[in-house]
A = this chain, B = another copy of it.
Amino acid sequence: MPEPRIPAAQVRRFLATAFEHLGMPAGDAQVVSQLMTEAELQGSDGHGVIRLVPYARRIRAGGINLKPDIRVVKEKAAMALIDGDNGMGHLVMKQAAELAIAKARQCGIAWVGSRLSNHAGPASLYARMALAQDMVGMYFAVGNANHLPPWGGLDMLLSTNPIAVAVPAGEEPPVVLDMATTVAAYGKVKAKAQRGEQMPVGWMIDRQGQPLTDPKRAEEGFLMPIGGYKGYGLAMIVGLLAGTLNGAAMGSEVVDFNHDDVTTTNTGQAILVIDPDAFGELDAFKARVDKLVRELRASERMPGVERIWMPGEQSHAKRIANERDGLALPAALRTQLDTFARDLGIPPLQDT
């Protein structure tokens, strides 16, 4: 029997009820639930519903401020720095994105950074917020656990600090890049271990700098940054712009939120919004993006390659299918959510 598909609206309702029962104001619970459901819809399942339980654990431990005073602490015409007051990252970054969009409309471009924020879900969520206004969005964040040493080093002082960029197109889906600065995500390593498979050379190295291909030995090594020292440089730069610039945590200051539910993470993020309308005729720009997309897609292909994908095109297709058919949550996650709902005293997630 195939897994039941659950309408996104049910998932959103369930999450909102859960957060309200955890003490979050109703309006904030709506915002967080909506963004977590968005993540699930676009296929970012590692940043979607699966996060409810760890978020709840952190909220109960007092590691999240449920009544934050999220406010602008520094501001100029085209920039702002937001103090998140240790609130949920979704609330902080939604506010940051909206402010950046408003400022970009005035100034052509704007940058809003955050400190004292928290994990906010997949990077592309916030870059994509600019798309509804026909603008370009770029998002940078300091990850909430350090998995990378500096190049040649052994101390894990850097996170897989992600970059997301969203560019509106005309008739084509928007181009949306959402990438960590490592070759493989840690979740992929765990999946290989579960299936008893070896990892390809290039995913991880051991403490001698040699390729590590046995996922069961993952604890003995490190994820590889993309392009070797280049990815190390990118991870550092993203951290400088999203963390250090804002007075947020970076390097050894980063709190591992997998192993610590209490300490304020002081997460730093940044969003950059560019208004293409300032550069010329908007429709002409979108037509040029369409032209490029079609040209790349029409490239002659390598043997065995069925289709050339644009960044974000597969997520776009998933979003459309999931909105139409509903979300398919893994059975183990459903069981976890049922237990969670019972403990919290709320109705379980409904299939229809």
A residues touching B (Cβ–Cβ < 8 Å)? 74-79, 81, 106-111, 113, 136, 149-155, 157-158, 165, 167, 175, 177, 179, 182-183, 201-202, 207-209, 226-234, 236-237, 239-241, 244-247, 250-252, 272, 274-276, 278-280, 284-285, 288-289, 291-292, 295-297, 299-305, 307-311
B residues less than 8 Å from A295 (CB atoms): 157, 251-252
Contact between B109 and A291, CB atoms less than 8 A apart: no
B residues less than 8 Å from A250 (CB atoms): 288, 292
Task: Given A152-B305, A177-B237, A226-B227, check contact A278 B244 (CB 8 Å).
Answer: no
Task: Given A245-B285, A285-B245, check contact A278 B108 (CB 8 Å).
Answer: no
Contact between B227 and A151, CB atoms less than 8 A apart: no
Distance in Å from the Cβ of A156 to the closest Cβ of chain B? 9
**How distant is the Cα of A229 from the Cα of B309 in the complex, in angstroms?**
9
**How distant is the Cα of A278 from the Cα of B270 in the complex, in angstroms?**
14
Distance in Å from the Cβ of A183 to the closest Cβ of chain B? 5
Q: Which residue of B lies closest to A74 (CB)?
A: B279
17 contacts between A and B (CB under 8 A): A76-B278, A79-B107, A136-B245, A152-B307, A153-B299, A153-B302, A155-B299, A157-B299, A165-B237, A209-B302, A236-B292, A236-B310, A237-B311, A244-B288, A247-B284, A251-B291, A251-B295
Contact between B274 and A111, CB atoms less than 8 A apart: yes
Contact between B245 and A76, CB atoms less than 8 A apart: no
Copies of this subunit = 2
**How distant is the Cα of A74 from the Cα of B282 in the complex, in angstroms?**
13
B residues less than 8 Å from A201 (CB atoms): 201
Contact between B279 and A81, CB atoms less than 8 A apart: yes
**How distant is the Cα of A165 from the Cα of B245 in the complex, in angstroms?**
14
B residues less than 8 Å from A77 (CB atoms): 77-78, 106-108
Query: Which residue of B179, B240, B303 is within 8 Å of A208 (Cβ)?
Result: B303
Q: Which residue of B lies closest to A252 (CB)?
A: B295
B residues less than 8 Å from A165 (CB atoms): 237, 241
Task: Given A280-B247, A291-B251, check contact A109 B108 (CB 8 Å).
Answer: no
B residues less than 8 Å from A245 (CB atoms): 136, 274, 276, 279, 285
**How distant is the Cα of A298 from the Cα of B311 in the complex, in angstroms?**
37
Distance in Å from the Cβ of A218 to the closest Cβ of chain B? 17
B residues less than 8 Å from A136 (CB atoms): 241, 245
Task: Given A155-B299, A208-B303, A304-B209, check contact A230 B237 (CB 8 Å).
Answer: no
Query: Which residue of B177, B239, B244 is within 8 Å of A233 (Cβ)?
Result: B177
**How distant is the Cα of A272 from the Cα of B303 in the complex, in angstroms?**
40
Q: Which residue of B lies closest to A111 (CB)?
A: B109
Contact between A207 and B108, CB atoms less than 8 A apart: no
Known A79-B109, A81-B280; 12 more pairs at CB < 8 Å = A74-B278, A74-B279, A74-B280, A75-B108, A78-B78, A78-B110, A150-B308, A179-B233, A226-B231, A247-B279, A247-B280, A251-B291
Contact between B278 and A79, CB atoms less than 8 A apart: yes
Q: Give the top 7 A-B pairs by smallest Cβ distance, nearest first.
A: A226-B227, A79-B108, A76-B108, A153-B299, A78-B78, A78-B107, A152-B305
**How distant is the Cα of A278 from the Cα of B75 in the complex, in angstroms?**
7
Contact between B81 and A149, CB atoms less than 8 A apart: no
Distance in Å from the Cβ of A146 to the closest Cβ of chain B? 11
Distance in Å from the Cβ of A155 to the closest Cβ of chain B? 4
